[in-house]
Structure 1
Amino acid sequence: MDLSEHVLSAGRAVLDWVQREWEPLSQAELEQRLDQAVEEILEADLVAKVKAQPPAAIYLQLVQSPAAAEPQVVPAEAALCPAEEEPQGGQEAPDTADSNAVKYITELLQSSKSQHSRARLAGRARLSLSHTVLLSLTLLSKRISYRSVSTRFRLEKGNIHRIFFSFCERVNILEEEQIRWPVDREAAEALFPLSSLLGKAEGPEVQGVPQVLGVLGHTRIPIRLPIGKHDVESTVPEVKRMKKEAHPDSWLNLELTCDRRGRFLHCRISKGSDTDRAGDLRDKLKQHPELMPPGSCLVARAGYPLTAHILTPYVGSLGPRENLYNKTLEVHFSILDQAVASLKARFQRLRYLDIGNYERARAVVLTACVLHNVFLDMGHVVQGDVEKEEASDQDGEGELDEEGVSRRDAVSHLLYKDLDS
C-alpha cells in the first residue's frame, strides 16, 4: 500500500513537471518572451561595447551620467514608488528608489528557508528578485493600478499580478521570524510602566501594579465584496447600504498586539463575519503562562476579554477610582492607534483592497504587517494620521473571568491609593 502511494506521488510530480516545462505559450506570452530575448541581446551587445572601452572613458561616462549618482533615500512616505522614468523591460530600477530597503528585503528573502525563489513558471517573463521587491513595494505603497505599474515596468498586466502575489507568498513565510512574541530577556526589556504616576523607587511588583508587555487592538481593512455576496434585492440606496448594511465579507479584521515602539508581536487576520475578540490569544496565554513575564499584562480596549493577562477598562457607571484606571489605560491605546496609522500610511493599498478573494487579500495584509516590522528594524519610521475607528456593537464589556476581575480591581485600587498618597 505504501509503495503504491509513493509511485502515485512520483507520477504526479512528473506530470506537474512536464506541464510546467511544456505548457504552450499564449500569443501574449510568446510576444513577451520574444521581447525579453531581444532585450537580452541588446543588453549583451551593450555590455560588450562597455568592456571594449578603456577604463578612463568608462569612468568619465559614469561621472557625467545622472544614473551614476548615489541612490537617494526617499522619505518613508514615498514608500518606494518608482520615478517617472520607465524601467526598461522591467530590468532597470529607478534611481530615486530606496535602494537600501530593496536590498535589505531582497537579502531577507534570499536567506529564508523557502525554496519559492527557485520555482519556475513556464511561459512567464522572469524578473530578478530585487526588481520583484521593488515592483511589489510600489504596488503596496500606493493605490495605483496594475495597468499603471505594467506601463512603468513594461511587463504584462497579468505578469504583474503573478509577480506581486508570488512576492506576498514569500514574505508570508517570514511571519514567524518577523512577527514574534518576545520571550526571556527580550520580553523583560520590552516591559514598560502601566502608569507614569508611580514612583520609580518603588518597583511595579512591590506595588502590585503590573508592567505592560504590549497593547492589544484591531482595525478593519476594506476589501472588494466577493462575487455572489451583493444584496441586489435591497431597497436601500447603494451609498446608504454601503454605510449601514455593509456585508461582513467586505472587510478583514486585523487583530494586532504591538510593543511600545509600535512593532507587532501578534497578528491575526480573519473575515469580517468573525466576531471573536482575541479568543485564540486569550486561550494561548492561559495554556502557556510563561509567555507573560511575572508582573506583566497586556492592555486592551473594552470588548476584549478581561483575564489575568489582559486588562480592559471599566464599562458603565464609574467612580473616581474606575475613571483613574480607565485614563491610565487610555494613554497606552494611542501606541496601537499610531502603529495602525503608520501601517496604513506606509502601505496605502490597505485603505481599500480591490480583491474579492479572501486568501489573497489576507496574504497582502500579512505581507504589509511583516514588512512594517522590517522597516521599523531598519529605522524607517512613518507617522500616519490616526483615524478614529467607528463604534462597534462589541465595544461593551467583553468576556470576564474571575481572576481578571480580581486583578483589575486590585490594580485600580493600588493606582488610586498611590495617587492619594
Structure 2
Amino acid sequence: MEVSEYVLSAGRAVLDMVEREWQPLSPGELEQRLDQAVEEVLEADLISKLKAQPPPDINVQSLQSQCNVQSQCNVQSQGNVQPPVLQTTTSSSRPPQEETPEPRDALETVDDAAIKYIRDLLQNSKSRARMAGRARLSLSHTVLLSLTLLSERLSYRSVSRRFHLEKGNIHRIFFSFCERVNTLEERHIRWPVGGEALEALFPLCSPEEQQEEQPGVPRVLGVLGHTRIPIRLHIGKHDVESTVPEVKRMKKEAHPDSWLNLQLACDRKGRFLHCSISKGSDMDRGGALRDKLKRHPEMMPSGSCLVARAGYPLSAQILTPYSGSYGPREEHFNKTLEEHLHILDRAVANLRARFQRLRYLDIGNYDRARAVVLTACVLHNVFLDMGQVIQGDVEKEEATTPEGDGEVDEEGVHRRDTISDLLFKNFDSGSS
C-alpha cells in the first residue's frame, strides 16, 4: 500500500513537471494563431495588388517648372530665402503629416537597452527556474511583455492581442517573471554599509544654512515613509484601463485589505534602501525597522539618522517632526525635515509614473499583488542603475501626514531636542 502511494506521488510529480515545461496550444490559442495567419495572408495579398497597380499620372516636370518659377519670384522678393523643394511621391496622395506610421516591431516599443539589461540579470541570477507558460516566448520577449503590463494600464485582453497569446498564458508568464525578479531583491534593494553608507550621507541642514559642519547635528542616511497601493476591491471589479482615479473612489468604501502598505526608505537619489510590503490592515509604521536598527547599531554610521513623517516612531535613529503646538525652534526643525521628506515623495511619484499598473492592481490575491509591487520596486532601482529616470508628478496623497503620533522613546526625544536647538541657533546666528 505504501509502495503504491509512492508510485502515485511520483507519477503526479512527473505530470506536473510535464505540464509546467510543455503543453500543447489550447483551442482558443490555436484559433487566435490561425486568425492571425489569415490576416497576414490577406494583408500580403492586398499589398501585392497595390504594388501591381500603375502609379497615378502626375506631370512632375510641370510641377517642378511651376515650383522653379515661384521660387525665383521668392528669391527676387526676399533675397536670402532658399527656394522650396517639391517632394513628390507615387505611393500615396496623402500629405506627410496625415500618413499613419507603420507599426513598429514589438521589441521597439520598450527601450532595447533596458530589455537586454534585465534579461541579462535574470540569466545570471541564482534562480534557474524556467519561465512558465505555454508556447514559450524568448526571454527578451518575456521581459518586454512583463514591462508592458507593468508600465501601461492595459488589460490582459489588450496585451493578448498585441503579443498574440492567450490571456491565461500571459497571466502565467507575467507572474513567473515577477517571481524571478523577486529573487533579485537582496541584490538590488540593499541597506548600505561601510564606505557605501558614508558616501550616501547628506547634510540635515539645507545648503544655504550650512556654513560648516557642527558637532551634534547628524547627517541623513535616508528618508523613511510609505504609500498605499490599491488592489482589487472586495465590493466589485473595476476596469483596469479606466482613467478615473481609483484612490479617491476607494477611500471610504474599500475594505482595509484592499490596500497594500508599501513602506520604503530611500537615499537622496531616490534609490530604495529598504522595502516592506504588508496588507492594508497592518498599520505598522516603521516599528520593525526601528527594532532592527536598535539590535544592529552598525547599520547606521556614527552621527547619522533617518528622517520620517509624523506617525513613525521617534528614536535615536529615526527623527520625526514635532506635533501639536510648538514655537519657532520646533517650527524650524519641522521645516528642515520636510525639505528632506519630499525626496521620498518624488521617489514614489517616479515609481508610479514608470509602473502605472501600481495605480490600481486588479489582483485579488495578496501574495501575487505583493510580488508585482516588489517587482516594480526592484526594477525601479535597476533603472536608476542604468541612468534611466522618469519624473512623475507628486500627488497630494503622498504628502499627507499620517494619523496621530508614532511611538517615542526617551533617547529619541532627547536627541531631537538637542538637534533642534543646534539647528535653530545656527539659523538664528546666520539670519542676524
**Residues 1:291 and 2:299 are matched in the alignment:** yes
Among 203, 209, 212, the residue aligned to 2:217: 209
Q: What pairs up with 1:10-409 in 2 under 5 angstroms?
A: 13-14=13-14, 16-17=16-17, 20=20, 26-28=26-28, 85=103, 93-116=106-129, 118=130, 124-196=134-206, 199-201=210-212, 203-204=213-214, 207-226=215-234, 242-389=250-397, 394-409=402-417
Whether the 8 Å CA contact 1:86–1:152 is kept in 2: the answer is no
User: Structure 1 residues 241 and 315 mapped into 2: Cα distance closer, same or farther (>3 Å)?
Assistant: same
Shift of 1:225: 1.9
User: Structure 1 residues 240 and 10 mapped into 2: Cα distance closer, same or farther (>3 Å)?
Assistant: closer
Whether the 8 Å CA contact 2:132–2:173 is kept in 1: the answer is no
Deviates more, 1:293-302 or 1:385-394: 385-394
User: Structure 1 residues 378 and 312 mapped into 2: Cα distance closer, same or farther (>3 Å)?
Assistant: same
SS of residue paired to 1:389: helix
**Residues 1:419 and 2:427 are matched in the alignment:** yes
Shift of 1:301: 0.2
Shift of 1:27: 2.8
Q: Percent identity?
A: 76
User: Structure 1 residues 9 and 321 mapped into 2: Cα distance closer, same or farther (>3 Å)?
Assistant: farther
Distance 1:264 1:113 in 2: 22
Whether the 8 Å CA contact 1:337–1:386 is kept in 2: the answer is yes
User: Structure 1 residues 110 and 15 mapped into 2: Cα distance closer, same or farther (>3 Å)?
Assistant: same
User: Structure 1 residues 9 and 221 mapped into 2: Cα distance closer, same or farther (>3 Å)?
Assistant: same
Shift of 1:95: 2.9
User: Structure 1 residues 272 and 21 mapped into 2: Cα distance closer, same or farther (>3 Å)?
Assistant: closer
Shift of 1:20: 4.6
TM-score for the superposition, normalised by structure 1: 0.77
Amino acid in the other structure paired with 2:149:
L
Whether the 8 Å CA contact 1:32–1:125 is kept in 2: the answer is no
Whether the 8 Å CA contact 1:314–1:397 is kept in 2: the answer is no
Distance 1:177 1:125 in 2: 31
Shift of 1:246: 2.6
SS of residue paired to 2:221: strand
Whether the 8 Å CA contact 1:215–1:333 is kept in 2: the answer is yes
Distance 2:400 2:282 in 1: 13
User: Structure 1 residues 155 and 22 mapped into 2: Cα distance closer, same or farther (>3 Å)?
Assistant: closer
Deviates more, 1:159-168 or 1:239-248: 239-248
Q: What is the Cα-based RMSD across aligned positions, in Å?
A: 3.2
Render the CA deviation track for 1:394-415: whole Å, top value 9, x for unaligned. Answer: 4322100111111101101111
Whether the 8 Å CA contact 1:214–1:258 is kept in 2: the answer is yes
User: Structure 1 residues 19 and 353 mapped into 2: Cα distance closer, same or farther (>3 Å)?
Assistant: closer
Aligned to 2:42: none
- For structure 1, which runs of at least 5 residues remain unmatched after alignment? 39-82, 88-92, 230-238
User: Structure 1 residues 246 and 36 mapped into 2: Cα distance closer, same or farther (>3 Å)?
Assistant: closer
TM-score for the superposition, normalised by structure 2: 0.75
User: Structure 1 residues 208 and 84 mapped into 2: Cα distance closer, same or farther (>3 Å)?
Assistant: farther
Render the CA deviation track for 1:91-116: whole Å, top value 9, x for unaligned. Answer: xx333431011111110111100012
Whether the 8 Å CA contact 2:345–2:398 is kept in 1: the answer is no
Distance 1:104 1:119 in 2: 17
Render the CA deviation track for 1:188-215: whole Å, top value 9, x for unaligned. Answer: 00000000255454x34xx201000000
Render the CA deviation track for 1:276-320: whole Å, top value 9, x for unaligned. Answer: 101111111011010000000000000000011000000011011
User: Structure 1 residues 152 and 296 mapped into 2: Cα distance closer, same or farther (>3 Å)?
Assistant: same
Distance 2:153 2:102 in 1: 16
Distance 2:378 2:367 in 1: 16
Amino acid in the other structure paired with 2:111:
D
Whether the 8 Å CA contact 1:33–1:125 is kept in 2: the answer is no
Amino acid in the other structure paired with 1:85:
P
User: Structure 1 residues 378 and 386 mapped into 2: Cα distance closer, same or farther (>3 Å)?
Assistant: same
Q: When the two structures are aligned, how many residues end up with a matched partner?
A: 357
Whether the 8 Å CA contact 2:200–2:221 is kept in 1: the answer is yes
Render the CA deviation track for 1:347-399: whole Å, top value 9, x for unaligned. Answer: 11111111111111111111111111011111111110000127979432210
Shift of 1:337: 0.3
Render the CA deviation track for 1:199-246: whole Å, top value 9, x for unaligned. Answer: 454x34xx20100000000111111124799xxxxxxxxx99844243
- For structure 2, which runs of at least 5 residues remain unmatched after alignment? 39-100, 238-246
Distance 1:25 1:350 in 2: 31
User: Structure 1 residues 216 and 151 mapped into 2: Cα distance closer, same or farther (>3 Å)?
Assistant: same
User: Structure 1 residues 94 and 242 mapped into 2: Cα distance closer, same or farther (>3 Å)?
Assistant: closer
SS of residue paired to 1:182: coil
Amino acid in the other structure paired with 2:336:
T
